[in-house]
Amino acid sequence: MASEMTLAQLIAPWLTIDDSSLAQTQITSLELDSRKIQTGDTFVAVPGHAVDGRDFISKAIEQNANLVLAQACELSPHASITYQDSTPVIYIDSLEQRLSELAGRLYQSQGNRIIGVTGTNGKTTISQLITQWIDLLGKRAAVMGTTGNGFLFDLKQAANTTGSPIEIQKTLSELAQQGAEYTALEVSSHGLVQGRVKALNFEIGAFSNLSRDHLDYHGTMEDYGEAKFSLFSQHNCKRAVINVDDEVGEKWLSRLPDALAVSLTPKPSLTRAVFAQSVRYSESGIELSFDGQYGEGVLSAPLIGEFNASNLLLSFACLLSLGFDKQALLDVAPQLTPVIGRMELFSSQGKAKVVVDYAHTPDALEKALMALRVHCQGKLWAIFGCGGDRDTGKRPMMAAIAEQYADESILTDDNPRSESPQAIVEDMLKGLTQPEKAHVEHSRYEAISYALSKAGEQDIILLAGKGHEDYQVMANETVHYSDRESAQQLLGILS
């Protein structure tokens, strides 16, 4: 339940209501979507990217909204109040930019310390490793991001990596009421630019890496990078933990002199750092000897690949920075488990191993293949596609990476949306020097079946792109589909 607040209290920073009866109206729930309005909810009407919420004020009132807070405009200036069917509509300047603060005033989440994780790849793994680790130490931690919101044993599906400002504040409040002492929050570049986390107080902000993604939205890598950097420069973020193995992260150190640097290579010259002295990869996982500001030690966890070593060390550094005991963290680290759909291994005797991963960017695909190469004694297969209605420039890049790092490539569909799947594959084929060697199979299930029929027992097949997702977005419908289920069925470990 949200805490109750009068209208006067809620909008006090921006507007004083003279009508005492109206000022005392109780506000218990804010809603941006008129379709979700229930009796007594307050509708917040602001212009969005696709639609203008102010066009749905009548609909919200029909649904019995108790009042409407709307973004002011020329026709309805700041502080003007109108009535529709006796329901007040109150206009406030720049309401869209104030949503995070507005929601934070109503949905208060005291006691829930927020850890923000940003970067192109690794956000889900890092946030879930942090959450697992805190749980293992006997405290209650929650997570919000790509795979859902809530406690790890009970994640509720999320529409976006970073939800709306109202959803975020409401969810943080609910988690606090359910006992969450910490919440690890994936922070997307869209979420930062659009002010969705503007009023949050971050105990820590962690940066994983920056590589090509979302250029259809940001336009340039520079703008994309600055969107990520705004977590540290334009938000209330007490501490920064930065992966300096990433070229962008290394440059950011000069702009963030108090940041804690994290690296998989020795960095004795840095006074504020946690760095690896050596990393050993085996079938059983990662063993990492580290040193730096918090002293030395050995960190072991059952994860696969170099980028997971980076994710692990970054998560560890965040928790050290938060004041968790180093030895206690090391003692429980072997109990950490891989995140669903993130380098998740499926195996069955006599058949090739199958690894499901969310890699859907050139950088992530390269890192996934390089990570598996260390473990692969036979051929390495890559099954991947590219999303429709998204950055077309990465299509040939991903194909070129698969050709370089895998022995066999199968081009398939990955949420073609409104585009022709054939046209997407044609774009991908342009990145290959030997396109005739690649196999094209639009059905992901059939692509996996084909690979398993041809692959040897020592081979590893990477299913890249969908990870935890259990759907395929087509032109006119979204259908149920899961790489994880397909792999288990074809390996005979799921009926």
DSSP 47: B
* Predicted local distance difference test score (pLDDT) of residue 2: 46
* Predicted local distance difference test score (pLDDT) of residue 1: 44
Render pLDDT for 196-210 as a digit per residue (tens, 0 to 9).
Answer: 999 999 999 999 998
Question: For the CA atoms of 328, 330, 334, 336, what is the dihedral angle to 10 degrees?
Answer: 70
C-alpha–C-alpha distance, residues 312 and 296, integer Å: 16
Domain 5-96, what fold?
3.40.1390
C-alpha–C-alpha distance, residues 280 and 312, integer Å: 13
C-alpha–C-alpha distance, residues 412 and 421, integer Å: 8
* Predicted local distance difference test score (pLDDT) of residue 262: 98
Q: Please name every residue paired with 239 in a beta bridge, in sequence order, or none if there are none.
A: 204
* Predicted local distance difference test score (pLDDT) of residue 4: 87
- Residue 124 makes CB contacts below 8 A (sequence gap 6+) with 145, 146, 147, 186, 339, 342, 358
C-alpha–C-alpha distance, residues 438 and 200, integer Å: 47
What is the separation of C-alpha 72 from the centre of its chain, rounded to a whole number of angstroms? Answer: 32
- Answer left, alpha or beta for residue 217, where phi above 0 means left and psi between -120 and 50 means alpha: alpha
- The amino acid present at 282, given as its one-letter code, is S
Q: Which residues are annotated as a binding site for meso-2,6-diaminopimelate?
A: 390, 414-417, 465, 469
Q: Where exactly are the structural domains of the chain?
A: 5-96, 107-335, 344-490
Q: Is the dihedral of CA 173, 174, 179, 182 positive or negative?
A: negative
- Spatial contact of 95 and 191, defined as CB atoms under 8 Å apart: no
What is the separation of C-alpha 453 from the centre of its chain, rounded to a whole number of angstroms? Answer: 34
CATH of domain 344-490: 3.90.190.20
DSSP 493: S
Quote the CATH superfamily of domain 107-335. Mur-like, catalytic domain (3.40.1190.10)
What tokens were used for 136? 């293992």
Q: Backbone phi, then psi, for 283, in 5-degree steps?
A: -60, -30
Q: Which residues are annotated as a binding site?
A: 32, 34, 119-125, 160-162, 188, 194, 196, 390, 414-417, 465, 469
C-alpha–C-alpha distance, residues 278 and 297, integer Å: 11
Render pLDDT for 423-442 as a digit per residue (tens, 0 to 9).
Answer: 999 999 999 999 999 999 99
DSSP 365: H
Q: Please name every residue paired with 262 in a beta bridge, in sequence order, or none if there are none.
A: 243, 274
Q: Which residues of the chain have pLDDT under 50?
A: 1-2, 214, 218
What is the full DSSP assignment across 72-114? --SSS-TT-EEEETTEEEEEETTGGGGHHHHHHHHS--TT-EE
Q: Please name every residue paired with 409 in a beta bridge, in sequence order, or none if there are none.
A: 382
Q: Which residues are annotated as a binding site for ATP?
A: 119-125
- Spatial contact of 101 and 13, defined as CB atoms under 8 Å apart: yes
- The pTM for the full model equals 0.82
